[in-house]
Protein backbone atom coordinates (compact mmCIF):
# COMPACT_ATOMS: atom_id res chain seq x y z
CA UNK A 1 0.00 0.00 0.00
CA UNK A 2 1.11 3.56 -0.72
CA UNK A 3 -0.57 6.63 0.76
CA UNK A 4 -0.41 10.34 -0.03
CA UNK A 5 -0.84 12.89 2.75
CA UNK A 6 -1.42 16.56 1.83
CA UNK A 7 -1.13 19.24 4.50
CA UNK A 8 -3.19 22.43 4.43
CA UNK A 9 -1.83 24.45 7.39
CA UNK A 10 -4.32 27.31 7.44
CA UNK A 11 -6.80 27.94 10.25
CA UNK A 12 -9.14 30.75 11.21
CA UNK A 13 -7.72 30.61 14.74
CA UNK A 14 -5.68 28.27 16.95
CA UNK A 15 -7.34 25.66 19.15
CA UNK A 16 -5.87 25.64 22.66
CA UNK A 17 -4.75 21.97 22.55
CA UNK A 18 -3.38 21.73 19.00
CA UNK A 19 0.34 21.42 18.24
CA UNK A 20 0.00 20.56 14.54
CA UNK A 21 1.81 22.68 11.98
CA UNK A 22 -0.65 25.50 11.35
CA UNK A 23 -0.86 29.23 10.71
CA UNK A 24 -3.49 31.96 10.46
CA UNK A 25 -2.89 33.55 7.02
CA UNK A 26 -2.54 37.33 6.84
CA UNK A 27 -4.27 37.53 3.47
CA UNK A 28 -5.27 35.56 0.38
CA UNK A 29 -1.89 36.09 -1.26
CA UNK A 30 -0.26 33.99 1.49
CA UNK A 31 -2.69 31.18 0.71
CA UNK A 32 -2.21 31.53 -3.06
CA UNK A 33 1.58 31.34 -2.76
CA UNK A 34 1.32 28.24 -0.57
CA UNK A 35 -1.16 26.44 -2.82
CA UNK A 36 1.02 27.11 -5.88
CA UNK A 37 4.04 25.60 -4.10
CA UNK A 38 1.97 22.69 -2.78
CA UNK A 39 0.73 21.81 -6.27
CA UNK A 40 4.31 22.00 -7.54
CA UNK A 41 5.35 19.55 -4.82
CA UNK A 42 2.43 17.21 -5.59
CA UNK A 43 3.44 17.16 -9.25
CA UNK A 44 7.01 16.27 -8.31
CA UNK A 45 5.66 12.81 -7.32
CA UNK A 46 3.90 12.11 -10.65
CA UNK A 47 5.94 8.93 -11.09
CA UNK A 48 4.09 7.51 -8.07
CA UNK A 49 0.55 8.54 -9.07
CA UNK A 50 -0.41 5.14 -10.47
CA UNK A 51 0.83 3.41 -7.28
CA UNK A 52 -1.07 5.55 -4.73
CA UNK A 53 -3.91 3.73 -2.96
CA UNK A 54 -5.16 6.43 -0.58
CA UNK A 55 -5.15 10.21 -0.34
CA UNK A 56 -5.68 12.15 2.90
CA UNK A 57 -5.97 15.95 2.99
CA UNK A 58 -5.38 17.15 6.55
CA UNK A 59 -4.45 20.27 8.44
CA UNK A 60 -4.84 22.80 9.77
CA UNK A 61 -8.32 23.23 8.39
CA UNK A 62 -8.45 22.08 4.75
CA UNK A 63 -11.94 23.48 4.21
CA UNK A 64 -10.95 26.90 5.56
CA UNK A 65 -9.36 27.81 2.22
CA UNK A 66 -11.50 29.16 -0.63
CA UNK A 67 -13.30 26.84 -3.02
CA UNK A 68 -11.00 28.01 -5.82
CA UNK A 69 -7.90 27.14 -3.80
CA UNK A 70 -9.32 23.75 -2.90
CA UNK A 71 -10.18 23.05 -6.54
CA UNK A 72 -6.62 23.97 -7.55
CA UNK A 73 -5.31 21.22 -5.24
CA UNK A 74 -7.94 18.69 -6.32
CA UNK A 75 -7.24 19.32 -10.01
CA UNK A 76 -3.61 18.33 -9.39
CA UNK A 77 -4.83 15.06 -7.85
CA UNK A 78 -7.23 14.09 -10.67
CA UNK A 79 -4.85 11.56 -12.28
CA UNK A 80 -4.72 9.57 -9.03
CA UNK A 81 -7.33 6.80 -8.74
CA UNK A 82 -7.71 5.84 -5.09
CA UNK A 83 -9.49 3.30 -2.94
CA UNK A 84 -10.05 5.92 -0.25
CA UNK A 85 -9.92 9.73 -0.54
CA UNK A 86 -10.33 11.58 2.76
CA UNK A 87 -10.55 15.26 3.65
CA UNK A 88 -10.64 16.73 7.16
CA UNK A 89 -13.10 19.54 7.79
CA UNK A 90 -14.27 21.81 10.55
CA UNK A 91 -18.08 21.89 10.62
CA UNK A 92 -18.45 25.69 10.92
CA UNK A 93 -16.51 26.17 7.66
CA UNK A 94 -18.47 23.57 5.69
CA UNK A 95 -20.86 24.57 2.90
CA UNK A 96 -22.99 22.50 0.56
CA UNK A 97 -20.92 23.92 -2.32
CA UNK A 98 -17.83 22.36 -0.71
CA UNK A 99 -19.64 19.04 -0.44
CA UNK A 100 -20.48 19.20 -4.14
CA UNK A 101 -16.80 19.84 -4.90
CA UNK A 102 -15.84 16.84 -2.76
CA UNK A 103 -18.17 14.59 -4.76
CA UNK A 104 -17.05 15.98 -8.12
CA UNK A 105 -13.39 15.21 -7.38
CA UNK A 106 -13.93 11.75 -5.92
CA UNK A 107 -13.56 12.44 -2.20
CA UNK A 108 -15.39 9.52 -0.59
CA UNK A 109 -14.51 9.94 3.10
CA UNK A 110 -14.84 13.01 5.34
CA UNK A 111 -13.36 13.39 8.83
CA UNK A 112 -15.01 16.06 10.97
CA UNK A 113 -13.43 17.77 13.98
CA UNK A 114 -16.13 17.62 16.66
CA UNK A 115 -14.13 17.06 19.90
CA UNK A 116 -17.17 17.26 22.24
CA UNK A 117 -20.90 17.98 22.18
CA UNK A 118 -20.65 20.12 25.31
CA UNK A 119 -20.65 23.65 23.90
CA UNK A 120 -19.10 25.17 27.03
CA UNK A 121 -16.15 22.82 26.70
CA UNK A 122 -15.94 23.65 23.01
CA UNK A 123 -15.33 27.25 24.05
CA UNK A 124 -12.71 26.05 26.55
CA UNK A 125 -10.95 24.24 23.69
CA UNK A 126 -11.31 27.40 21.57
CA UNK A 127 -13.42 25.63 18.97
CA UNK A 128 -15.72 27.80 16.83
CA UNK A 129 -18.52 25.40 15.84
CA UNK A 130 -21.84 24.48 17.43
CA UNK A 131 -23.59 21.12 17.62
CA UNK A 132 -25.98 22.37 14.95
CA UNK A 133 -23.02 22.90 12.58
CA UNK A 134 -22.02 19.26 13.06
CA UNK A 135 -25.52 17.94 12.39
CA UNK A 136 -25.97 20.14 9.33
CA UNK A 137 -22.61 19.13 7.82
CA UNK A 138 -23.24 15.40 8.29
CA UNK A 139 -26.79 15.67 6.92
CA UNK A 140 -25.56 17.56 3.84
CA UNK A 141 -22.74 15.07 3.16
CA UNK A 142 -25.12 12.12 3.40
CA UNK A 143 -27.61 13.76 1.01
CA UNK A 144 -24.73 14.26 -1.44
CA UNK A 145 -23.91 10.55 -1.21
CA UNK A 146 -20.87 10.58 1.11
CA UNK A 147 -21.67 7.91 3.70
CA UNK A 148 -18.13 7.22 4.95
CA UNK A 149 -18.02 9.90 7.65
CA UNK A 150 -15.72 9.96 10.68
CA UNK A 151 -15.68 12.32 13.64
CA UNK A 152 -12.87 13.19 16.05
CA UNK A 153 -13.71 13.34 19.75
CA UNK A 154 -11.57 14.15 22.80
CA UNK A 155 -11.80 12.75 26.33
CA UNK A 156 -9.96 13.71 29.53
CA UNK A 157 -10.73 17.40 29.04
CA UNK A 158 -10.27 19.20 32.39
CA UNK A 159 -13.59 19.23 34.22
CA UNK A 160 -14.99 16.31 32.22
CA UNK A 161 -16.71 13.56 34.18
CA UNK A 162 -17.96 10.11 33.19
CA UNK A 163 -21.45 11.55 32.69
CA UNK A 164 -20.01 13.97 30.11
CA UNK A 165 -18.45 11.08 28.20
CA UNK A 166 -21.78 9.25 28.25
CA UNK A 167 -23.48 12.35 26.82
CA UNK A 168 -20.88 12.75 24.06
CA UNK A 169 -21.17 9.08 23.14
CA UNK A 170 -24.97 9.21 22.99
CA UNK A 171 -24.88 12.26 20.73
CA UNK A 172 -22.22 10.71 18.49
CA UNK A 173 -24.12 7.44 18.11
CA UNK A 174 -27.26 9.35 17.08
CA UNK A 175 -25.37 10.69 14.05
CA UNK A 176 -25.29 7.21 12.49
CA UNK A 177 -21.74 7.51 11.15
CA UNK A 178 -19.18 4.89 10.16
CA UNK A 179 -16.07 5.83 12.14
CA UNK A 180 -14.90 7.61 15.29
CA UNK A 181 -11.44 8.66 16.43
CA UNK A 182 -11.51 9.21 20.20
CA UNK A 183 -8.33 10.79 21.58
CA UNK A 184 -7.20 11.48 25.11
CA UNK A 185 -6.30 15.15 25.59
CA UNK A 186 -2.50 15.30 25.66
CA UNK A 187 -0.73 18.35 27.04
CA UNK A 188 1.55 19.33 24.15
CA UNK A 189 4.30 21.92 24.18
CA UNK A 190 3.76 25.10 22.16
CA UNK A 191 0.03 25.13 22.93
CA UNK A 192 -2.03 27.57 24.95
CA UNK A 193 -2.92 24.80 27.41
CA UNK A 194 0.79 24.20 28.03
CA UNK A 195 1.21 27.93 28.63
CA UNK A 196 -1.56 27.75 31.25
CA UNK A 197 -0.06 24.60 32.78
CA UNK A 198 3.31 26.30 33.29
CA UNK A 199 1.51 28.99 35.26
CA UNK A 200 -0.46 26.58 37.41
CA UNK A 201 -3.72 27.34 35.65
CA UNK A 202 -4.35 23.96 34.01
CA UNK A 203 -5.02 20.66 35.81
CA UNK A 204 -4.91 17.40 33.87
CA UNK A 205 -7.52 14.70 34.43
CA UNK A 206 -6.17 11.92 36.65
CA UNK A 207 -4.86 8.72 35.04
CA UNK A 208 -7.48 6.67 36.92
CA UNK A 209 -10.38 8.78 35.64
CA UNK A 210 -8.93 8.92 32.14
CA UNK A 211 -8.60 5.13 32.11
CA UNK A 212 -12.18 4.72 33.31
CA UNK A 213 -13.33 7.07 30.56
CA UNK A 214 -11.60 4.97 27.91
CA UNK A 215 -13.10 1.77 29.31
CA UNK A 216 -16.57 3.29 29.06
CA UNK A 217 -15.91 4.54 25.51
CA UNK A 218 -14.77 1.08 24.35
CA UNK A 219 -17.74 -0.67 26.00
CA UNK A 220 -20.37 1.76 24.72
CA UNK A 221 -19.12 1.85 21.14
CA UNK A 222 -18.72 -1.91 20.91
CA UNK A 223 -22.27 -2.32 22.23
CA UNK A 224 -23.39 -0.08 19.36
CA UNK A 225 -21.72 -1.98 16.56
CA UNK A 226 -18.30 -0.34 16.39
CA UNK A 227 -15.10 -2.37 16.15
CA UNK A 228 -12.24 -1.20 18.36
CA UNK A 229 -9.33 -1.66 15.97
CA UNK A 230 -6.64 0.84 17.04
CA UNK A 231 -5.78 2.56 20.32
CA UNK A 232 -7.85 5.64 19.41
CA UNK A 233 -10.06 4.40 16.57
CA UNK A 234 -13.42 2.69 16.17
CA UNK A 235 -15.32 1.78 13.01
CA UNK A 236 -18.41 0.05 11.76
CA UNK A 237 -17.49 -3.20 9.93
CA UNK A 238 -15.83 -2.44 6.60
CA UNK A 239 -15.08 1.20 7.39
CA UNK A 240 -11.64 1.15 9.01
CA UNK A 241 -9.39 3.98 7.83
CA UNK A 242 -7.34 2.48 5.00
CA UNK A 243 -4.99 5.46 4.92
CA UNK A 244 -4.15 5.42 8.62
CA UNK A 245 -3.56 1.68 8.51
CA UNK A 246 -0.73 2.42 6.09
CA UNK A 247 1.04 4.22 8.96
CA UNK A 248 0.25 1.56 11.55
CA UNK A 249 1.36 -1.29 9.25
CA UNK A 250 4.56 0.59 8.36
CA UNK A 251 3.85 0.79 4.64
CA UNK A 252 5.24 3.64 2.55
CA UNK A 253 3.58 7.03 2.22
CA UNK A 254 4.28 10.38 0.62
CA UNK A 255 3.82 13.56 2.63
CA UNK A 256 3.49 16.94 0.91
CA UNK A 257 2.98 20.39 2.37
CA UNK A 258 4.27 22.43 5.26
CA UNK A 259 5.76 20.25 8.00
CA UNK A 260 4.72 17.02 6.26
CA UNK A 261 6.92 13.95 6.33
CA UNK A 262 6.99 10.73 4.35
CA UNK A 263 8.69 7.33 4.10
CA UNK A 264 9.73 5.91 0.77
CA UNK A 265 12.07 2.98 0.08
CA UNK A 266 13.71 3.05 3.50
CA UNK A 267 14.19 6.83 3.57
CA UNK A 268 12.32 9.16 5.92
CA UNK A 269 12.06 12.76 4.76
CA UNK A 270 10.84 15.88 6.50
CA UNK A 271 9.55 19.10 4.98
CA UNK A 272 10.24 22.58 6.28
CA UNK A 273 7.96 23.71 9.10
CA UNK A 274 8.41 27.47 8.56
CA UNK A 275 6.24 28.83 5.76
CA UNK A 276 8.83 31.23 4.33
CA UNK A 277 11.40 28.41 4.14
CA UNK A 278 8.92 25.94 2.63
CA UNK A 279 8.08 28.38 -0.17
CA UNK A 280 11.77 28.54 -1.12
CA UNK A 281 12.58 24.84 -0.75
CA UNK A 282 10.06 22.31 0.54
CA UNK A 283 12.52 19.71 1.85
CA UNK A 284 14.17 20.06 5.25
CA UNK A 285 16.09 16.78 5.43
CA UNK A 286 16.23 13.12 4.40
CA UNK A 287 17.25 10.36 6.79
CA UNK A 288 18.09 6.83 5.68
CA UNK A 289 16.46 4.43 8.12
CA UNK A 290 18.68 1.73 9.60
CA UNK A 291 17.31 -1.77 10.09
CA UNK A 292 17.04 -1.05 13.82
CA UNK A 293 15.08 2.14 13.06
CA UNK A 294 12.64 0.23 10.89
CA UNK A 295 12.16 -2.57 13.42
CA UNK A 296 11.51 -0.06 16.21
CA UNK A 297 9.01 1.94 14.18
CA UNK A 298 7.21 -1.17 12.96
CA UNK A 299 6.84 -2.48 16.52
CA UNK A 300 5.62 0.84 17.96
CA UNK A 301 3.16 1.53 15.17
CA UNK A 302 1.96 -2.05 14.87
CA UNK A 303 1.22 -2.39 18.57
CA UNK A 304 -1.24 0.50 18.24
CA UNK A 305 -3.49 -1.95 16.39
CA UNK A 306 -5.73 -3.98 18.68
CA UNK A 307 -4.88 -7.10 16.64
CA UNK A 308 -1.19 -6.47 17.39
CA UNK A 309 1.98 -7.61 15.61
CA UNK A 310 2.29 -10.84 13.64
CA UNK A 311 5.46 -12.19 15.27
CA UNK A 312 6.53 -14.55 12.48
CA UNK A 313 6.06 -11.84 9.82
CA UNK A 314 8.33 -9.41 11.67
CA UNK A 315 10.92 -12.08 12.46
CA UNK A 316 11.15 -13.27 8.85
CA UNK A 317 11.10 -9.74 7.41
CA UNK A 318 14.10 -8.64 9.49
CA UNK A 319 15.72 -12.05 10.15
CA UNK A 320 15.53 -11.63 13.93
CA UNK A 321 14.22 -13.38 17.03
CA UNK A 322 11.88 -10.84 18.57
CA UNK A 323 12.43 -11.92 22.17
CA UNK A 324 16.21 -11.89 21.76
CA UNK A 325 16.10 -8.50 20.07
CA UNK A 326 13.85 -7.05 22.78
CA UNK A 327 14.30 -9.07 25.99
CA UNK A 328 12.13 -6.56 27.87
CA UNK A 329 9.11 -8.02 26.09
CA UNK A 330 9.07 -10.74 28.78
CA UNK A 331 9.00 -8.08 31.50
CA UNK A 332 6.04 -6.37 29.78
CA UNK A 333 4.25 -9.72 29.57
CA UNK A 334 4.93 -10.39 33.28
CA UNK A 335 3.52 -6.92 34.06
CA UNK A 336 0.45 -7.87 32.02
CA UNK A 337 0.98 -4.99 29.60
CA UNK A 338 1.69 -7.27 26.63
CA UNK A 339 0.37 -10.70 25.73
CA UNK A 340 1.05 -13.31 23.04
CA UNK A 341 -2.01 -14.87 21.43
CA UNK A 342 -2.15 -17.08 18.33
CA UNK A 343 1.19 -15.82 17.05
CA UNK A 344 0.47 -12.15 17.69
CA UNK A 345 2.06 -9.81 20.21
CA UNK A 346 -0.50 -7.29 21.42
CA UNK A 347 -1.27 -4.82 24.17
CA UNK A 348 -3.45 -6.09 26.99
CA UNK A 349 -6.39 -4.08 28.29
CA UNK A 350 -4.05 -2.67 30.94
CA UNK A 351 -1.42 -2.04 28.26
CA UNK A 352 -3.84 0.08 26.25
CA UNK A 353 -3.81 2.64 29.07
CA UNK A 354 -0.02 2.45 29.48
CA UNK A 355 1.00 2.15 25.85
CA UNK A 356 3.81 4.71 26.04
CA UNK A 357 5.44 2.69 28.81
CA UNK A 358 5.43 -0.35 26.53
CA UNK A 359 6.63 1.53 23.44
CA UNK A 360 9.73 2.74 25.30
CA UNK A 361 11.29 -0.72 25.17
CA UNK A 362 11.45 -0.56 21.37
CA UNK A 363 13.23 2.80 21.16
- Which positions ≥6 away from 331 have C-beta within 8 Å? 361
**Using an 8 Å Cβ cutoff, are 133 and 111 in contact?**
no
Q: What's the CA gap between 90 and 72, in Å, rounded?
A: 20
Domain assignment present for 98: yes
The last residue of one of the domains, among 223, 247, 271, is 247
Based on the fold, state whether residues 324 and 222 are members of the same structural domain.
Answer: no
Residue 339 lies in a domain: yes
Instruction: Tell me the three state secondary structure of residue 269.
Output: strand
Has residue 125 been placed in a domain? yes
Q: Are 252 and 244 in contact (CB under 8 A)?
A: no
Tell me, yes or no, whether 319 and 183 share the same domain: no
- Within-domain flag for 303: no
Instruction: Give the pLDDT score at 249.
Output: 97
Residue 22 to residue 18: CA distance in whole angstroms? 9
237-283 per-position pLDDT tens digit: 999 999 999 999 999 999 999 999 999 999 999 999 999 999 999 99
Instruction: Examine the domain organization and report whether 188 and 321 are in the same domain.
Output: no
What stretch of H or E contains 113? Answer: strand 109-115
Q: Domains in the chain: how many in total? A: 2
CA-nearest of 56, 67, 5, 83 to 31 is 67
In terms of Cα–Cα distance, which of 115, 239, 119 is closest to 177?
239
Averaged confidence pLDDT in the chain: 97
Ranges of the chain with pLDDT below 70: none
Q: 33-80: per-residue pLDDT in tens?
A: 999 999 999 999 999 999 999 999 999 999 999 999 999 999 999 999
Residue range of the domain that includes 363: 308-363
Judged on CB neighbours under 10 Å (0-12, 13-18, 19+), 285 is exposed
Say how many residues make up the chain: 363
Q: How far is CA 1 from the centre of its chain?
A: 18
Stated pTM of the model: 0.96
Amino acid sequence: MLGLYIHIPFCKHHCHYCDFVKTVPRNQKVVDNYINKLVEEINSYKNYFDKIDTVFIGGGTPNFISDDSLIQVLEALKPIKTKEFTIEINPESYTEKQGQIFVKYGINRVSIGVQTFNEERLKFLNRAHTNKDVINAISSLKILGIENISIDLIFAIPGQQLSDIEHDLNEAIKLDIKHMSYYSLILEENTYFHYLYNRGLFSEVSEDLSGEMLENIIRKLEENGFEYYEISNFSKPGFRSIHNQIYWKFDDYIGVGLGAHGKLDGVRYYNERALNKYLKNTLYEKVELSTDDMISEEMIMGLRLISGINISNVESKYNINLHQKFPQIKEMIDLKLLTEESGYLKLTKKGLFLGNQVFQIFI
